A = this chain, B = another copy of it.
Amino acid sequence: MFMTRWEPNARGRLELAALELYGERGYDQTTVAEIARRAGLTERTFFRYFADKREVLFYGSGMLQDGLVRGIEDAPAALPPIDAVAASLEAVADSLFEERHDLARQRQVVVAATPELQERELIKMATLSAAVAGALRRRGVTDPGASLAAEAGVAVFRVAFQRWVRQPGDPGDAGGETLAQLIRQSLAELKTVTAGK
């Protein structure tokens, strides 16, 4: 029987190696073989964790979506739709993102430089929005309200996230605030701009 060696934190090492290489020589120019070598692991090990080099950047999407949906479903029934979405966004910000600030910044640089990855990111966000709308409908929110609250919630997240991953010192950087704090600010700003006349 063929035995596979246990590699401590292989996923994390592969992710780190991939982000380094994408940053140094570009996403398109990097191969799986190079990622594995940089991580001190084999290609075979890489493919135990990721289907391809793109998935290194997107494997967290499922966790984000599941966490967000569960948070919306579990939010107190009295919370208005947009506040249920925002509360869940703040929770996933703390549980999934806050410890990964440097990785998220590195990832952002790579995605911003690669049209294929930007398209994948748009699809991920549209999928997320559809899942959020579904969770709101299960709370009894009817359409078009469920779709609009979902789209608005995902917009709040994107705008907050873009500030959070800005390089320190760049114009508009987050100045040390947590992603959850930026989400709260972004929600308050949305409420201001949509209050209108």
Query: Which residue of the partner chain, among B122, B144, B185, B196, contacts A163 with CB atoms under 8 Å?
Result: B144
| A148: interface (CB < 8 Å) | yes
Query: Which residue of the partner chain, among B79, B123, B145, B191, contacts A122 with CB atoms under 8 Å?
Result: B123
B196 touches A144 (CB 8 A): no
Asked if A159 meets B152 with Cβ closer than 8 Å, knowing A126-B122, A193-B80, the reply is no
Min CB distance A166 to B, Å, is: 11
Asked if A186 meets B148 with Cβ closer than 8 Å, knowing A126-B122, A195-B191, the reply is yes
Known: A80-B195, A145-B192, A191-B196. 11 other contacts (CB 8 A): A144-B185, A145-B193, A148-B186, A148-B189, A149-B193, A149-B194, A151-B151, A151-B159, A152-B155, A191-B195, A194-B194
Measured CA separation A151–B75 after assembly (Å): 25
Measured CA separation A126–B143 after assembly (Å): 23
Which residues in B have their C-beta under 8 angstroms from that of A12? none
How many copies make up the complex? 2
B147 touches A159 (CB 8 A): yes
Min CB distance A144 to B, Å, is: 5
Query: Which residue of the partner chain, among B147, B152, B172, contacts A194 with CB atoms under 8 Å?
Result: B152
Query: Which residue of the partner chain, among B80, B141, B185, B190, contacts A152 with CB atoms under 8 Å?
Result: B190
Which residues in B have their C-beta under 8 angstroms from that of A152? 151-152, 155, 190, 193-194
Measured CA separation A143–B182 after assembly (Å): 13
Query: Which residue of the partner chain, among B151, B159, B193, contacts A155 with CB atoms under 8 Å?
Result: B151
Asked if A148 meets B79 with Cβ closer than 8 Å, knowing A126-B122, A155-B155, the reply is no
Which residues in B have their C-beta under 8 angstroms from that of A123? 119, 122
| A81: interface (CB < 8 Å) | yes
